[in-house]
Amino acid sequence: MTTKLQQSDFAPTLNKQIDRYFSTGVNEENLSAFLKVVNETYQWFERDKLLSEHAYAVSEKEYQDAVSHLESQHDIIRQSVGLLKDAIQRIDKNANLNIDDAEAEIINVVRYLNKQLEVQRNLEEQLIVSKEFAEKAAQVKSDFLSVMSHEIKTPLNAIIGLSHLLQQQQFTHEQARNINALHAAAENLLSLVNDILDFNKIEEGKIQLAPRMVDLRVILNNLKYAYALKANEKQTIIKLTIDENLPAHILVDDVRLNQVLHNLMSNAVKFTNKGQVWLSVMVEPSSNEEHVQLRFCIKDSGIGIAKEKQHLIFDHFTQADSNITRQYGGSGLGLSIVKRILQLMNSHIDLQSAPGKGAAFSFVLSLPALVAGELQNGPKPDKKLQHDFSGINVLVVDDIEFNVMVAEQMLTNCNASCSHANDGIEAVKMARANHFDLILMDLQMPQMDGFEATRRIREFNTTTPVVALTASSEPEVIIKAKVLGMDDYLMKPFNPNDFYNMVAHYSGYVRG
């Protein structure tokens, strides 16, 4: 059965083409033109189809590549999250990160890290508060030690100064012996006080070496003399050996070296009964021609130290046996300070000992040896020389009567004129009204301290030397003194020879 198609059954576009080509009827010409248009339409359709199929194939490949890339990235993220979780678990075993979903894991990790950052910020804030508190506590401790240093060293200054003045007078042999013992005991007490006060500075790294030219033979002989009385009481003999090749003068911080030697000698004498103590310094070969290498050794025949306890004695407040503290006394600070000071001097302490066989402490210092030319041009070593300060007018500013009495007697014994001011206010008035060759200024005084007094004096007088008398060796104290116009400082209790040399230097006195 044949179905007759109507024009209305065709697509509108085809109807338009039929109307266009067959409006006058069907013939070969218009049929050929129509078929040509239909052919072109099919060609365009097939081309578009090929393009669409190609575009689909390309899109499918890109899609698969994208999916593969995302899966790879997802694997990387999972591995990264896993490693991050492992790291967090090692840091915090209580961290709760057991989540299966990857996105939830990431979110959980991020939340955990944010929480840890918040904890870190809180810790930093607490550390800042703790640091500020510690700094304030350290400042309070420093201020306390500074005050205690002043209060303890002030009477010691009077004892040492007065005993020195007494040593210059004529007494019977027994009286002279007692005065010498008093002076030696005061020096030993000063050494202990310095140990206690210096321990804090050593712990804070505030100790600075101040080398100067010294005669080591004088130091060693004074050391032997200082402990001779105590050794005699214990029926112990002190033997001193000095290498004949020892240079006449060396450059060293004699204060710190004395501190080391005093601590070692004090222990040697303390722990030896009816025995011997050997003090020696020997010159050792050195590859540096400008330096001399010296080995110091303090050996005793005392109680000795067990091998397993030798490392303990260099810890602060520690002794080899608690019974030692009860039987022999001691602070347990001495050897700790010895160790720290020798480290500052680029050296270390060696110990050889056994119970009942004594102990030998030794250390080596490499020090500059001064030749004759340097000796003439450099600072003068300490010597007990008689000074004559006739014509020199000195103002002593101090509120402590004992300190004033000692300074005035030491000055007047050398024929100097001496005036006294009780505080900074009085010192400023006297310095304005009178001429002085030298002003000796205590730093801690009521009404007005030495710092402020010097600052005011420098407003109208920039030439008169001002030397600070201080019991504090804190670097900031010395720096402040220099900034406010002081020329130098003298530590209390001061060595009489240091005192005389300081007066001679800044008063313009020339020794004949």
Residues 410-452: pLDDT tens digits?
899 889 999 999 999 999 999 999 999 999 999 888 889 999 9
Of 180, 155, 153, the C-alpha closest to 166 is 180
Question: In b/e form, how buried is each residue of 41-62, taking b as 16+ CB within 10 angstroms?
Answer: eeeeeeeeeeeeeeeeeeeeee
pLDDT band at 8 (very low <50, low <70, confident <90, very high): low
pLDDT in tens, 176-185: 777 777 777 7
Structure tokens at 124: 């930093």
Q: How many beta carbons lie within 10 A of that of residue 75, not counting itself?
A: 11
Residue 222 has pLDDT above 70, yes or no: yes
pLDDT band at 315 (very low <50, low <70, confident <90, very high): low
Structure tokens at 106: 């990431």
pLDDT confidence of residue 378: 40
pLDDT confidence of residue 280: 95
Question: In b/e form, how buried is each residue of 118-142, taking b as 16+ CB within 10 angstroms?
Answer: eeeeeeeeeeeeeeeeeeeeeeeeb
Residue 281 β-bridge partners = 242, 296
Residue 47 has pLDDT above 80, yes or no: yes
Q: Are 87 and 59 in contact (CB under 8 A)?
A: no
β-strands 438-442, 466-470 pairing: parallel
pLDDT confidence of residue 146: 67
pLDDT confidence of residue 99: 52
Residue 319 has pLDDT above 90, yes or no: no
Q: How many beta carbons lie within 10 A of that of residue 305, not counting itself?
A: 23
Query: How many residues appear in the chain?
Result: 512
147 or 467, which is more confident?
A: 467
443 or 149, which is more confident?
A: 443
β-strands 212-214, 250-252 pairing: antiparallel
pLDDT in tens, 85-100: 677 767 666 666 555 5
pLDDT in tens, 265-292: 988 998 899 999 999 999 998 877 778 8
Q: What is the residue type of 229?
A: L
> In the predicted model, what is the mean pLDDT of the chain?
79
Residue 264 has pLDDT above 60, yes or no: yes
pLDDT band at 512 (very low <50, low <70, confident <90, very high): very low
The Cα 449–Cα 289 span in angstroms is: 49
What phi, psi does 237 have (nearest 5°)?
Answer: -100, 135
pLDDT band at 491 (very low <50, low <70, confident <90, very high): confident
Q: What is the residue type of 400?
A: I
